[in-house]
Structure 1
Amino acid sequence: MRKGHNFLRSKSECDTGPSYALGIGLAQMTSAGALGAALGLSFGHDDLGYLACLAVGGFFLLLVASAPNERRLSGLGWALLIGLCFGLGEFFAGLWWFPTSIAREWPQLSVAPEYLLLIYLASFHALTGVLFWVFSRPIRRARPGAAWFATLSFAFAFACTWAIPEIARGTTMTGLPLLSLGYEMVGTAFFGYAPIVGLYGVEFAAAFASALLGALVFARSWRVAAILALVLMVDLAGGELAGSVRWTHPAGEPIRVAAIQDGIGMSAKYSNVGQTDAIQRYTAWAGAFKDTLIVGSETAIPMPMNRAPRQLLRALRLRLAAHGNVALLGAKMPLPGRSAVWTNSVIAFGSPAPYRYDKRHLIPFGEYTPRGMLAQWLGSWVGMTGASSLRPGSTTQANFDDRGAGVIPTICFENLFPGLVVSSLHDNRKPHVPDAPKTQKFMHLRLFSRLRRRSEGVKW
């Protein structure tokens, strides 16, 4: 670079020929993939939140290192490739279980859509690279001045360009904010910001700190290092201070809750023996507790509700009533008035009044599933026979009342979405307990629930 700011290197240090530049570019993309993999693999571990920040800080340094290229197309292209490699590393490492579990449980289905989904999610980090190249361009081209201010500007620009694609990823066509950095901050000081700014505010604070940490490593003077360290400590201290405030208070008497997984594989559940076994297991567990809210899995009743054996459901209800228990179990329910259309639902067993909750977020982008001939073609491509008949539930559904506590049912990955639980807070006079029936026991669902509890003021 002839002028401006780049705290990593100058043009004379890197402009030594196309072969050298190509080698540097390949090394940067490989490093980006490795850093993304480190970020993805740290997901779900409370004690690895700061390691995730180191990975994001390394990504920031790679983007800054690619910034000196002033040629619009080549510079933009390198930023895009580095971002894409980082995203591919994160999602293929962090969600490796997704296509493999589909292949294991449903071998007749194609895994191609799952891999395409991972590439789609990775492309949002490519957008981060492009936006950072664009946002940081005025900083790079500015007249040399205060180095500390320029470095802070780089860090702030990175935090903005990290948060904007993450918000887009979490909201576009219902969104899919899996592996969001904000969830990884559950065990860090940044988690304290959740009640004030929510998931994406936590992401911004963590990304800003990550960029500061990366810039601090390569600070060229003690003055710049001191200023960066001070801003970083303020960021951390702000999260610790916000986390020390008690934003909510217990209300009412505590209720006993038991979350139970039946331990039957999805493929086995669709056999006659597996379907009967699943209901009988919950019937046996219904007598193992006293005055308890029992939460079962998303497929606790592994067949359409109107086809479930009546004698088994009656035995379940009688056993629950005999011990003062209530169970919220997942089941497939027909839409009222439309027997050929179904909902993924939670049904209350053993409660004085009937209760039903229909899942609002079906599968990723499920509300946008095509219908008709296009759906049949897509179904044949992935190995499914016919289009899905599931429909999303209403956005205004009643909460379940259990001994005065308002229970908010959320099914599977619905806990991912900021605001979904808040939209269910119909009566602020009652305590609310989010409930997340799910097919399998995923560690990340615990993180989602903890952040929802912290940021949205509900008890868990």
Structure 2
Amino acid sequence: MADPITSRPRRDISAAALADNTRSRALPLWHYLVALAVGALNTLSFAPTPHGGWLQLAIFVFFFAWLTRSTGWKSAALTGGAFGFGNFVTGVWWLYVSMHFYGGMPAPLAGAALALFSLYLAVYPALAAGVWSFCAGHARNGAADDRRPFSPTWHGALAFASAWAIGEWLRGTVFTGFPWLASGYAQVDGPFAGFAPVVGVYGVGWVLALAAALIVQALLPLTQARAAPVAPPAQPAHDPRGGEAAPRHIARIALPAGVALALIVIGLLLPLIQWTTPANAPLKVRLLQGNVKQEMKFEEAGLRAAVDEYQQMITAKPADLIVTPETAIPVLAQQLPLPFAAAIRQFADSTGSAILFGAIGGTITPDGQVVDYTNSLFGVTPGSHVMYRYDKHHLVPFGEFVPWGFRWFVNLMNIPLGDFFRGAPVQKPFIVHNQPVALNICYEDIFGEEIARTLRENATPAGVLVNSTNLAWFGDTIALDQHLQIARMRSLETGRPMLRATNTGMTAAIDANGRVIGRLTPFTIGSLDVTVQGTSGNTPYVTSGNNTVLAVSVLLLAFGFAFGPAIVRRRNGAK
């Protein structure tokens, strides 16, 4: 690889010559195909791959090195977009299962919808790569006859980390957000997991991207040395390219490599810090998995069978807390079958068990109409006839509400959908033997900032997190493993245990350090009995949310955009 080049055209180059040079340096199609393949490979770094965070670090090193081959912001954006499309089309292919096998959408249309959605998601890594190109002084390259690639720099590495983090945050925020496969999730068992309670999943992605860029920066002089001619004997103090002192050449390798290694070491040591402390007595918990087939759940016979099954499972034996999956009882709470309601009330009062069950909420008007349907969890507390209620706040597009202009798309599927009413962003916890428990439903647990906000702003901060979900829509796919990995990240970020009750899997208990302490085999009927210790106190991430990584990233990108080209120009002009 040749010497680094200036980030802006020289003044003696005409516009026509520069245009000819841009065309001559256009990247071939196979460059983008490689980026797409690497993006697809990145899917393997997520669950169920064990310790996939290390694989992801190697993939990001290659991805950034490949990105530096680009000749301007357009080719950089296309490279990032190709990487993103490869990652998303292979990483969330289970959406095809929900649309085709359970939704009844024709296979070609379901496949096209998956491809279009993946293209949309790929916009964000494309945006990140394009912004990096500008802020790293990479928007324009060298002389008209100069075909040398762009060289990684310190400010370029920081720009890449910052642009990547902001791109992932935007993907998790715009149009209600879809942060699935945020790069930090793969680090749950990787070298940078320790950063999660400090800066959250997007901050973990920032550290990953920075370490990868610094490794490329360290490796670059070695590849240049191999490609360059051997220096003449009269220049023993210079590196093989000549003109640069040996100590400076060594520093170009050692400094970025040292910082990257330091990030890895810090990430491995940070878990030794206990950000939260045990609070209240441990809880004995039973998490139920009914394995009710999705196609039967809303049929009359299937509904009766589900109610009977969960009544039997709830009352099988006592526990401090018993949790069912999302909409385990798929009826309006006011229309609960009397035998079910009487059985769980009597069981709770006689055994001291607190019970959380999923059902449909709603408000009945004076004229008997039901309005404001909600996806809810209802809690029965021993000795109290006041029923607790949690209403889901972050609804699923196309599942719980129909985005404007997409009614035609929903009509292509044969799924019982509706426009649900949103619960409040922060709701009071469910109290179980003096232990506050914070609830979330379905994919609400993929929004770490919202979980942190619930803990930060609640008058009674919870010591235990509970997720009730139904992933039967996605069949026996990697979606189950990926969602469990996401839940583990929430435990790391908050320093609190997470309990998951699911219809088909993964029903699991996660401790405050993100370790799975028990799980049920997917697609089986059973209950998971575990003891969990609640915690108190706030991690740095709970205190500040995503504000830290966003503020740092914006400042670094602004610095890079304002001064990056001049830094590169001075650096190259000194040689």
TM-score tier (shorter): 0.7 to 0.9
Aligned AA (1:398): K
The equivalent of 2:466 in structure 1 is: 435
Distance 2:291 2:138 in 1: 56
Q: Which has the higher contact order (CA 8 A, sep 6+)?
A: 2
2:215 pairs with 213, 216, 236, which one? 213
Residues 19-418 of structure 1 correspond to what in structure 2 (within 5 A)?
A: 25-44=28-47, 45-66=49-70, 69=71, 75-108=72-105, 111=110, 113-137=113-137, 151-220=153-222, 222-335=250-363, 337=365, 339-349=370-380, 351=382, 352=384, 353-364=386-397, 369-370=402-403, 374=405, 376-382=407-413, 388-418=418-448
> What SS does structure 2 have at the residue aligned with 1:218?
helix
Deviation at 1:304, TM superposition (A): 3.0
What CA deviation, in whole Å up to 9, does each residue of 1:273-307 have, x standing for no partner?
A: 21112122222222333223122111201233344
Q: Residue 150 and residue 94 in structure 1: after superposition, are their counterparts in 2 closer, same or farther (change >3 A)?
A: closer
> Which of the two has greater helix per residue?
1
- Residue 222 of structure 1 and its aligned partner are, at CA, apart by 4.4
The one-letter amino acid paired with 2:343 is: A
| Post-superposition offset of 1:432 | 1.6
SS at match of 2:316: coil
Shift of the 139–455 alpha-carbon distance from structure 1 to 2, 3 Å rule, reads same
- How many residues get paired? 435
| 1:379-402 deviation line (CA, Å, top 9, x unaligned) | 4355568x8321211123211001
- State the distance in 2 between where 1:124 and 1:348 align: 40
Q: Distance in 2 between the 1:59 and 1:133 partners?
A: 14
Question: 1:416 deviation in Å?
Answer: 1.1
Distance 1:212 1:166 in 2: 20
C-alpha displacement of 1:428: 6.7
Structure with greater Cα Rg: 2
Task: Tell me how large the CA RMSD over aligned residues is.
Answer: 3.1
How many percent of aligned residue pairs carry the same amino acid? 29
Instruction: Name whichever of 445-454 and 31-40 sits farther off.
Output: 445-454
Residue 158 of structure 1 aligns to a residue whose secondary structure is: helix
With 330-339 and 78-87 compared, the bigger mean Cα shift is at 330-339
Report SS of the residue matched to 1:256: strand
- The DSSP-based 3-state class of the residue aligned with 1:189 is coil
- Bigger shift: 168-177 or 357-366? 357-366
- The one-letter code of the counterpart of 2:493 is S
State the SS of the aligned residue for 1:301: coil
Describe the SS at the equivalent of 2:379: strand
After superposition, the C-alpha distances for 1:206-248 in whole angstroms (9 at most, x for unaligned) are 1111222334443335442222221111111222332211111
Q: Which runs of 5+ in 2 are unaligned?
A: 8-19, 144-150, 223-248, 473-479, 499-575
Shift of the 136–382 alpha-carbon distance from structure 1 to 2, 3 Å rule, reads farther
Gap change, CA 1:382 and 1:285, over 3 Å in 2 = closer
* TM-score normalised by L of structure 2: 0.69
Distance between the aligned counterparts of 1:219 and 1:335, measured in 2?
68
| Structure 2 contact 439–466 (Cα < 8 Å) conserved | yes
Structure 1 counterpart of 2:487, from 424, 439, 449: 449
